[in-house]
Amino acid sequence: KNEQRHIQQYTDALVQEIEMWGSQELLKERIISTVHFGGGTPLMLGISNLDRIVTALKHNFCFSSKTELAFETTSSMLTEEILASFNQLGFSRIHIGVQSLQEDVRKKIGRRESPKTVLEKIRCAVRFGWIVSTDVIIGLPGYRNPGILDDLDSLMENGVEGFSIYELVQSPRNRLFFDQFHLTEQPILDKFIMFQTAFQHLLKHGFENCLYNHLSKHRDKNLYFTSPSRHEDLLGIGTIAD
């Protein structure tokens, strides 16, 4: 009950802020290129609250037929019903936090779903016609080549059009995890080689480097992170969204 109350309070506050900014008439003349729900796990809000937020955004800001609605999620929270609901709301891009498809690695990082289930959910999003991107994290315990390259192949074969490849960063929140698997002892050169190998593998398969750590096919413009270079307006919705 407390969690639901907090979610409702957050939604109320967010809609109020959207309406406050929407009252600035000059903003209504500027087309929003993309709205990105991330910087957390937006599905925790529930479909009804997300519907309310999207409705408020469309009412208060300038959307066009080209405005892209996108969101991030873990695969465990994703269902076909959620995809169908988001499809009706106008979403067309999804970033699914995969990190690794190797069974042993997934167990170490606490991912509950099997690689097979993750790929099934990716295919479901692809069937809706969505742009699907995901992440592959260098530096996870036991995650090395050729496993990384095998994962890239599996994800490409199942329709993923964008990859964010980055290193697991140590923070106070995951310090014990780093200590448990001695991750600070990983040689920097080894991780650099894994980065370069993954990048070259994707380039060889027709992906292009559209940001320092993101490679994509032509449909995935990665608008959320690249729109400032085109002097476009975007909306980042989330507790730590940029």
User: Which token pair is 212?
Assistant: 């320092």
| pLDDT value for 78 | 92
| pLDDT value for 230 | 85
| pLDDT value for 102 | 97
Identity at 140, one-letter amino acid code = L
| pLDDT value for 38 | 86
Q: Which residue has 């002097």 as its token pair?
A: 231
Q: Which residue has 């990048």 as its token pair?
A: 199
Average pLDDT over residues 107-129: 95
- pLDDT (tens digit, 9 = 90+) per residue, 195-207? 999 999 999 999 9
| pLDDT value for 242 | 61
The torsion angles phi and psi of 203, rounded to 5 degrees, stand at -60, -40
pLDDT of 233 over the 80 cut: yes
- Taking every pair of Cα atoms in the chain, the longest distance, rounded to a whole number of angstroms, is 54
> Quick one: CA dihedral 164, 54, 242, 63, positive or negative?
positive
Proportion of the chain in helix, strand, coil states, percent, rounded to 5: 50, 20, 30
Of 122, 145, 142, 135, which is closest to residue 167 (Cα–Cα)? 135
User: Which token pair is 198?
Assistant: 């993954």
Of 111, 62, 118, 63, which is closest to residue 94 (Cα–Cα)? 118
What average pLDDT does the chain have? 93
pLDDT band, very low/low/confident/very high, at 241 (cuts 50, 70, 90): confident
Q: Are 199 and 164 spatial neighbours (Cβ–Cβ below 8 Å)?
A: no
Strand order in the sheet with 162-167: 208-211, 214-216, 162-167, 131-138, 91-99, 68-74, 32-37, 233-237
Q: What distance in Å separates the CA atoms of residue 148 and residue 101, rounded to the nearest whole number? A: 8
| pLDDT value for 216 | 97
> In 113-207, at which residue ranges do the beta strands (DSSP E only) sit?
131-138, 162-167
pTM comes to: 0.93
pLDDT of 40 over the 80 cut: no
| pLDDT value for 237 | 87
Most confidently modeled of 21-25, 27-31, 180-184? 180-184
Q: Are 41 and 74 spatial neighbours (Cβ–Cβ below 8 Å)?
A: yes
Percent of the chain with pLDDT strictly greater than 70: 99
Q: What distance in Å separates the CA atoms of residue 29 and residue 208, rounded to the nearest whole number? A: 33
Q: Are 190 and 196 spatial neighbours (Cβ–Cβ below 8 Å)?
A: no
73 strand-pairing partners:
96
pLDDT of 154 over the 70 cut: yes
- Dihedral-angle region of residue 177 (phi above 0 means left; psi in -120 to 50 means alpha; beta otherwise): alpha
